[in-house]
Amino acid sequence: MDASAQISKVLTATVERMLRPLIRVLLRNGMSFKVFSEISKQVYVEVGSREFGIPGRKQTISRVSVLSGLSRKEVQRVMRERARTGSQLHERYNRAARVIAGWVRDPDFMDARGSALALSLEGEGGSFSQLVKRYSGDVPARAVRDELLRVGAIESLEDGRVRLLTRAYIPRTSDLDKLEILGADVADLVTTIDHNLERGATDPRFQRKVMYDNLPAEAISRFRALSAEQSQKLLEDMDHWLAQNDRDANPSVKGVGRKRAGIGIYYFEENLGATPGGDAK
**pLDDT tens digits for range 166-195:** 887 766 655 666 777 777 888 889 899 989
Task: Tell which residue, 186, 11, 55, 185, has the closest CA to residue 63.
Answer: 55
Q: For residue 227, give the nearest of 258, 265, 193 by alpha carbon.
A: 265
> CB-based burial of residue 225 (10 Å sphere; 0-12 exposed, 13-18 middle, 19+ buried)?
exposed
The pTM of this model reads 0.61
The domain segmentation of the chain, as residue ranges, is 3-88, 92-164
Instruction: Give every CB contact of residue 212 below 8 A, 6+ residues apart in sequence.
Output: none
Output the CA–CA distances (angstroms, integers) from residue 273 to 262, 266, 281, in the order listed: 36, 23, 8
Predicted confidence at residue 280, as pLDDT, reads 52
pLDDT tens-digit readout, 123-156: 877 899 999 988 887 788 888 898 888 878 899 9
pLDDT score of 276? 57
| Below-70 pLDDT ranges, the chain | 83-93, 170-177, 274-281
pLDDT at 86: 45
Instruction: Give the residue ranges of DSSP H helices in 29-152.
Output: 33-51, 61-68, 72-85, 92-105, 128-136, 141-150
The pLDDT value recorded for residue 24 is 87
CA distance 147 to 93: 9
For residue 263, the model assigns a pLDDT of 93
Instruction: Please report, for residues 109, 188, 202, 225, 263, the alpha-carbon distance to residue 197 in angstroms, rounded to integers and kept in the order given.
Output: 43, 14, 11, 33, 18
Fold adopted by 92-164: Arc Repressor Mutant, subunit A (1.10.10)
